């Protein structure tokens, strides 16, 4: 049986204590876990690109989204089972830790910044390695990765922001339900639901997008040389900046949206739904205040 929501928030607070204890006392281990977590996310991005290239919209407009979501699903499973760090999960975990007085606002922000930096490095490095892999230099994959990036960076700030909120709303709900579940199969199902929902739902995740957008930027010369631009109706040149079709443009508004989705619509909601008197009763008999994922 999964635990109830009162026990869940206590479990999440214990996980928060473990995470932030690692940040304070073993910062190198924390950064390494964030690096690995960032790479784990873009394992899914690589697979999603691999299976979706060439899937025709004349078949059904949503089929490519479905196959991308199905192969992306295990990214969160491997992150949570391995206990690595994902900044968007830490947003929801950290705010519950703040409610439970496990961490201060200052340390909450330090954890988010450090988690993002590590995830950024892992995601970017993994996609740089992928960009050197011959399989992804073939035209169908160059065209598909470019098309994904054009779609993501071509949206308006408001559109990206809204999809960023939806992303962590679904993803962190799944992450907390992973913590709520007790059996391995239930945990796998809950963790897989998150990435499936956010990728098939065409939403925006900051760490996934670091990789999704970096790969076509790393390979843009190849794309243009291979005649990929000719395959598009209106060839678009991507860039790293904050203007339209820029990596920074998508990343900025995705991060802002992810913050609200994970903290406001998941962490705070679960915390406010829990019964404070019962939570305090649980604390009275509590001996261990730290739990590893």
Residues that bind other proteins (CB under 8 A): 10, 13, 17, 95, 98-107, 156-158, 161, 242-244, 246, 248-249, 252-253, 256, 259-260, 263-264, 268, 271-272, 276, 279-280, 283-284, 286, 289
Burial of 242 (C-beta count, 10 Å sphere; 0-12/13-18/19+): middle
Q: What backbone phi and psi angles, to 5 degrees, belong to 53?
A: -60, 130
CB 85, min distance to other proteins, A: 19
CB 13, min distance to other proteins, A: 7
Nearer to other proteins, 227 or 276 (CB): 276
Our CA angle for 91, 95, 100, nearest 5°, is: 145
C-alpha–C-alpha distance, residues 158 and 256, integer Å: 11
CB 260, min distance to other proteins, A: 5
Nearer to other proteins, 52 or 250 (CB): 250
Three-state SS for 58-122 is CCCCCHHHHHHHHHHCHHHHHHHHHCCCCHHHHHHHHHHHHHCCCCCHHHHHHHHHHHHHHHHHH
CB 281, min distance to other proteins, A: 9
Q: What backbone phi and psi angles, to 5 degrees, belong to 150?
A: -60, -40
Nearer to other proteins, 36 or 98 (CB): 98
CB 155, min distance to other proteins, A: 9
DSSP classification of residue 3: -
**Residue 276 corresponds to which tokens in the numbers above?**
């404070």
Nearer to other proteins, 16 or 64 (CB): 16
Nearer to other proteins, 13 or 48 (CB): 13
Kindly state the greatest CA–CA separation across the chain: 68
CB 273, min distance to other proteins, A: 12
Nearer to other proteins, 216 or 257 (CB): 257
Distance, first Cα to last Cα, the chain: 18
Nearer to other proteins, 221 or 285 (CB): 285
CB 81, min distance to other proteins, A: 25
CB 188, min distance to other proteins, A: 30
What is each CA distance from 130 to 45, 64, 119, in whole angstroms? 11, 21, 16
C-alpha–C-alpha distance, residues 107 and 95, integer Å: 11
């Amino acid at each position: 049986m999964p635990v109830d929501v009162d026990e869940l928030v206590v479990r999440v607070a214990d996980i928060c204590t473990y995470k932030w204890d690692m940040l304070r006392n073993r910062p190198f281990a924390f950064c390494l876990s964030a690096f690995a977590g960032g790479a784990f996310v873009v394992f899914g991005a690589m697979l999603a690109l691999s299976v979706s290239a060439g899937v025709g919209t004349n078949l059904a407009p949503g089929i490519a989204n479905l196959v991308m979501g199905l192969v992306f699903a295990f990214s969160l499973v491997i992150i949570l089972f391995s206990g690595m760090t994902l900044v968007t999960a830490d947003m929801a975990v950290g705010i519950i830790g703040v409610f439970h007085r496990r961490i201060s606002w200052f340390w909450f922000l330090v954890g988010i910044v450090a988690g993002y930096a590590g995830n950024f490095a892992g995601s970017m490095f993994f996609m740089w390695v992928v960009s050197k892999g011959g399989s992804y230099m073939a035209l169908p994959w160059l065209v598909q990765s470019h098309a994904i990036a054009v779609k993501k960076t071509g949206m308006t700030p408001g559109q990206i922001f809204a999809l960023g909120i939806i992303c962590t709303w679904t993803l962190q709900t799944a992450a907390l339900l992973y913590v709520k579940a007790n059996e391995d199969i239930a945990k796998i199902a809950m963790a897989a639901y998150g990435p499936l929902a956010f990728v098939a739902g065409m939403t925006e995740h900051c760490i996934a997008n670091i990789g999704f957008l970096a790969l076509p930027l790393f390979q843009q010369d190849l794309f243009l040389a291979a005649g990929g631009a000719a395959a598009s109706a209106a060839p678009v040149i991507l860039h790293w900046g904050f203007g339209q079709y820029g990596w920074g443009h998508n990343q900025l508004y995705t991060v802002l949206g992810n913050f609200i989705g994970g903290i406001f619509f998941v962490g705070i909601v679960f915390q406010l739904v829990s019964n404070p008197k019962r939570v305090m009763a649980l604390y009275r008999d509590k001996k261990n205040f730290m739990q590893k994922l």
